Structure 1
């Protein structure tokens, strides 16, 4: 099966995780890290003490009981990590009937979406999918990418995020904006940030940015490394 790659905005969205074992805890953390509006957790076992910091957050709740059909009410996304085939199929079927995004961990045939292996560097996320054919290969590729993409990529992305609205605010034409932003990305800024050489980074910005933005360079680089 071919999957359509997509990044989902979970802000103000209700999410449900059924099963809070080791895998479930990782899924819960990933939902929280992704800004989920609410995260409801259901497990037949009492909450693991290791989850205390997660459950202390106002938008996270835990219920020690069996899954109920009504648990899906108002949910945007559901993840099931249970050891019960019956419960997993039930959740999968109900989500399909209600058009709710559903992931059954390690069982792609029951999913409406699968979760890719990812490499994260600040706001940069690189996702890897093998269409469910080989999670082991996805993990291998992720390891290789982790070695290729260092923290300097997060720094450059932070810098570009600061620069872009300033450039767009100058009122130049779209081709002019594109030329400036592309020149920065294709410059030696990444290497200078990796080397923690802000003086050299400053010189690159002076060469690439329009004159009206030169006064902004110190604040653009502030706290970058």
Structure 2
């Protein structure tokens, strides 16, 4: 798998996270640094997601909920459902990230450090998430110690 690092223009575009648990919340934490146009779809949501204030659609997944979205994150704990979300989104030509399954992703999320308008993104192409996070944290620490505020 070869992933091209890009920065997508998401101005005026909506993002859907399918899932209501910990992985969905982690994706939300990253995405909220860049946009508030995020909705979450799941029959049940964690307390953290409820407290986040983001739009929640408390329903079982159906392809009809993909309408109007630009990016889709499949973050359920059901591999078959995540595969179905990917298949449905492909039919609608939507970009899809299937959590913890880089082989079935149109894109993967980098480990990101954002300060103001500056963004540093580190990726291992989905091969070593732990090392990616370590590198991101090292870069973050270095920048915080050596760059002007």
What residue is the counterpart of 1:116 in the other structure?
Answer: 110
Q: Following the alignment from structure 1 to structure 2, what is the Cα–Cα distance between the partners of residues 154 and 78?
A: 36
Contact kept in structure 1, 2:86 and 2:104, CA below 8 Å: yes
TM-score, normalization: structure 2?
Answer: 0.89
Q: CA deviation at 1:124?
A: 1.4
What residue is the counterpart of 2:135 in the other structure?
Answer: 141
Q: Greater helix percent: which structure? A: 1
Q: Following the alignment from structure 1 to structure 2, what is the Cα–Cα distance between the partners of residues 152 and 78?
A: 37
Assess, with a 3 A threshold, how the Cα gap between structure 1 residues 113 and 50 changes in structure 2: closer, same or farther: same
Residue 93 of structure 1 aligns to a residue in which SS? Answer: helix
Q: Greater strand percent: which structure? A: 2
User: Which one has the largest radius of gyration?
Assistant: 1
For 1:1-225, what aligned pairs fall within 5 Å after superposition?
A: 1-36=1-36, 38-45=37-44, 47-55=45-53, 60-150=54-144, 153=147, 155=149
TM-score, normalization: structure 1?
Answer: 0.61
Q: Following the alignment from structure 1 to structure 2, what is the Cα–Cα distance between the partners of residues 83 and 154?
A: 42
What residue is the counterpart of 1:206 in the other structure?
Answer: none
Q: Following the alignment from structure 1 to structure 2, what is the Cα–Cα distance between the partners of residues 152 and 98?
A: 46
Q: CA deviation at 1:50?
A: 3.0
Contact kept in structure 1, 2:89 and 2:96, CA below 8 Å: yes
How many aligned residue pairs are there? 149
Whose relative contact order is higher, 1 or 2, with alpha carbons under 8 Å and at least 6 apart? 2
Q: Which runs of 5+ in 2 are unaligned?
A: none
CA deviation profile, 1:116-173 (whole Å, cap 9, x unmatched): 1122222211111111111111112112212211176473xxxxxxxxxxxxxxxxxx
Residue 17 of structure 1 aligns to a residue in which SS? Answer: strand
Q: Following the alignment from structure 1 to structure 2, what is the Cα–Cα distance between the partners of residues 129 and 50?
A: 26
